[in-house]
Amino acid sequence: MSTDEDNESRSAIPLSRQKIEDLERDVRQFWERLELQNTVRIETLIKGAKIAKDPPNVALIGLSGPERQAIFSEKRQLPWQARGLLVTVMVTACAAITQGWQQSTINGSALFSWWESVGLQKPKDELLIGVINAAPWLSASLVGTWLSDPLQDRYGRRPALFVAALFCVFLVIGTAQCNHWKTLLVCRCLLGVGIGSKASIAPVFAAEAAPDEHRGRVLMMWQLFDTFGIFLGFLCAFLVRGDWRILLATAIIPAIVLLFLVFICPESPRFLIQKHRYVEAYKSLLELRGTEIQAARDLYNIHSQLQVEATKIWKSPNERLWSEQENRYIYQRWISKRNFFSRMWYLFTDPRSRRACMVALIVMLSQQLCGMNVLAFYSSDLIKSSGMTDFTPRIESYNLGFGLANFLFTFPAFFFIDSSGRRPLLLVSFSGMLCSLAAVAGFFKLTDPETRLILVAIISIAVFVFFYSIGAGPIPFTLSAEVFPLHVRDVGMSFSVMINFLFLGLLVFAVPSLTTKFGHGNVCGEASENLCNGQANLLGFFT
């Protein structure tokens, strides 16, 4: 399973092969042709290119004291010490919080029987209620994810994210004001457009802004704050009792913060270089890295990687000199001729991109089919029939604890994702989830209320959440944002999020009816016994 770091290191091979005198000549031509004289000093740019060419021998390049300190300390420092990267991380965090908040408020609103306020009744309208619950995720998958690519390609990451945030703000208000199920369904579908676009843009935005040494940690912000948003949504459900409209409307808070943060964060330097806006790209990197030497290094390094990748795409039979390739700016010429559909075609016809699609497909499907989101969306319904009496206050407390555990258990992955790697964390994660989810399913198989110990079930769920949070939760979005080649990263992330949200929507729609269906034909007796058997069989299926 290769990652973007591996891909980019291979892309930089022609730069590492260059002789120093050839590199200096090319950097000077690059500096003059792009009119960077008033932007960055040529001495700084040459030193930055030398660092990109040969990172292990930084000490031999002749850096000044502050430059040497900046380069040697960047691995030890927190990745968001530069103001620009801090704001970018906050943008990613707000986008993730918005999604998690929306997810948990849908769960919490089930306690208040929202369907009765829009003219629906259970069990007669069970199917329609499932459609309304699943609508945001299905529309996010089928419309929102694909809308993000043309928006990003034409306007950039920041404007596209701003449009997605606008959808989240106004449609959250709309869903809270609906008095009929038809208008609620329309609002939920439009809300999904914003959710899908936001989830496709924010991880790519973070990946392109982060330094290589800390990319895993920065991308972890998505999952970490998604779980924090889930916790905040459950907290609102705990505090706002009896009014599902207010509960749904609370998800507007992080979306409004996102709208304002987008205005002050720097644009993606890769996007700016792709559009041949090098002066703006350098200024963006200066905000993201904090020092001129780091910005100069990454400016020339990103430019070099993009040109080499374009050379691979063109598959030239002749290995020309790197200086000739660089002078032609073939990446910009190639990308300007490609639209959304041609990039989609390339995504599935190019062997390297196709392998990346397979990796993203596997990890995204695994995240949805592991059973976590069944518990996240329908924990209220699952616990109702567990033998509790006076269940509503206790379920709210359970949901709050569930969200808090999901958030706190994500922190270990934050510290190990860059050092231990993606695959080991996934293997440990799925092994632990297998055992703990089997225990949860066995709990619901017990039909005697005296035997069914709720504390044992909650502990089993907590263990399951822990193993999910260290691997299956954070890795899929992180890996999908970095595994694709640079020139199809936007559309590749759209494909990945589409798979994730499509199966999320199908689960949200199907779980209530599957619970009832799996309960038929088991231990006969009271309806609650049948329902518990259905829950056991359903959780056993995901195990």
**H or E element, residue 399:** helix 391-408
Distance, in Å, from the CA atom of 349 to the CA atom of 351, rounded to the nearest integer, reads 6
pLDDT at 515: 60
**Contact (CB, 8 A) for 274 and 490:** no
* Strand (E) or helix (H) holding 77: none
Answer with the residue of higher pLDDT: 346 or 291. Answer: 291
Residues 6+ apart with CB under 8 A from 388: 394, 395, 454
CB atoms inside a 10 Å sphere around CB 245: 16
Give Cα separations from 14 to 19, 49, 319, 524 (angstroms).
Answer: 10, 13, 11, 71
Verdict on whether the full-model pTM lies above 0.85 = no
Greatest mean pLDDT among 71-80, 213-222, 305-314 lies in: 213-222
Most confident by average pLDDT, 9-18, 202-211, 371-380: 202-211
Give the model's confidence band at 234: pLDDT under 50 very low, under 70 low, under 90 confident, else very high: confident
CA distance 134 to 513: 13
For 469-532, give the DSSP string.
Answer: IIIITTHHHHHHHHHS-GGGHHHHHHHHHHHHHHHHHHHHHHHHHHHHHHHTTSS-SSHHHHHH
Q: How far apart are CA 462 and CA 406, in angstroms?
A: 8
Q: Among the ranges 20-24, 140-144, 310-314, 447-451, which has the highest mean pLDDT value?
A: 140-144
Task: Write down the pLDDT at residue 335.
Answer: 59
Percent of the chain with pLDDT over 70: 77
∠411-412-418 over CA atoms, to 5°? Answer: 105
pLDDT value for 4: 42
Sort residue 210 into left (φ over 0), alpha (ψ -120 to 50) or beta.
Answer: beta
Please state, as a whole number, how many other Cβ atoms lie within 10 Å of the Cβ of residue 461: 23
* CB neighbour list of residue 271: distance below 8 Å, 6 or more residues apart: 152, 156, 157, 208
Q: Look up residue 143 and give its DSSP letter.
A: I
For 252, phi then psi, to 5°, come to -75, -20
Q: Please, what are the domains in the chain?
A: 4-73+277-327 (no CATH), 83-268+342-542 (1.20.1250.20)
Tens of pLDDT, residues 111-142: 677 888 888 887 788 888 888 988 999 999 99
Q: Per the omega criterion (within 30 degrees of 0), is the bond before 123 cis?
A: yes
Q: Per-residue pLDDT averaged across 135-150, rounded?
A: 92
| Positive or negative: CA dihedral 229, 406, 104, 134 | positive
> Of 126-135, 217-226, 326-335, 367-376, which gets the smallest average pLDDT?
326-335
Structure token pair of residue 37: 């004289």
**Token pair recorded at residue 257:** 């913060």
